Amino acid sequence: MSRVRDFRREVWEVLSSAPDLPRLLETLRRFPPRKLVSPLIGAFCHREEVVRWRAILSLGPTVARIAEEDLEAARVVIRRLMWMLNEESGGMAWGAPEGMAECLYHHPRLSEEYTSILVSYLRPDGNMLEYPPAQRGVAWGIGRLAERERERLLTFRAHEYLKPLLSSPDFAVAGLSAWALGRMAPFPEQKFIIPRLEALLSREEEIFFYDGNRLSPHPVRALAKEALELMGGG
């Protein structure tokens, strides 16, 4: 048991001390990928937000490495994240939707199999998550995945299920939904979304997240403005 704790401590130290994401991932590649999964998922609840995000962003490449050797073993990791989002697990789902999306982002076969499930977490007729931190994670995950799987997300009508979240009282849910919708543009129904995006232009709150280029604070109004520009309504 002490070896497990020592290894987790070692991984968390790497997450905390790496100077940037590329060098973090390079360092983690020195470890067996299957051993990394539990320490990385455990770090989703780390007290430092930067460490939490680094753990999420490290899980995708790690699971992709596992999938190249044993696809079923990678599926087991995805199912573990899904269990964390299940009410029966008794968990808080911190980081689970983001981690799941990052795994799908890094492996096409996993995306093919599980993107519909990720979207289902926003569907009233599916597995809808009502807890705002979980909704933030799914919205971010859809935006992240849109960089590589936009057509698949549109096929599963992710934009329709994000639309109501633009009116969420949780500013992070609304802002991340705006960001995700912008990354899926253009799509036929976007004219019905533009008024809701415009309503966010006065929001001053900031959300700390990874936008595909950097990990930093993003004002909600800036995310709405960017989405509007991408939809041709800015």
Q: What is the pLDDT of residues 33-53, one digit of tens each?
A: 999 999 999 999 999 999 999
Enter the tokens of residue 174: 């609304």
Compute the average pLDDT of residues 186-193: 90
> Contact, 100 vs 140, CB < 8 A?
no
Is the pLDDT score of 89 beyond 50? no
The CA-CA-CA angle for residues 4, 67, 76, to 5°, reads 60
Residue 102: other Cβ atoms inside 10 A: 27
CA dihedral 65, 70, 75, 76 (to 10 degrees): -100
Tell me the whole-structure pTM to 2 decimals: 0.94
Enter the tokens of residue 95: 């980081």
Is the pLDDT score of 100 beyond 50? yes
Q: For residue 2, what pLDDT is reported?
A: 78
Predicted confidence band at 3 (pLDDT cuts at 50, 70, 90)?
A: confident
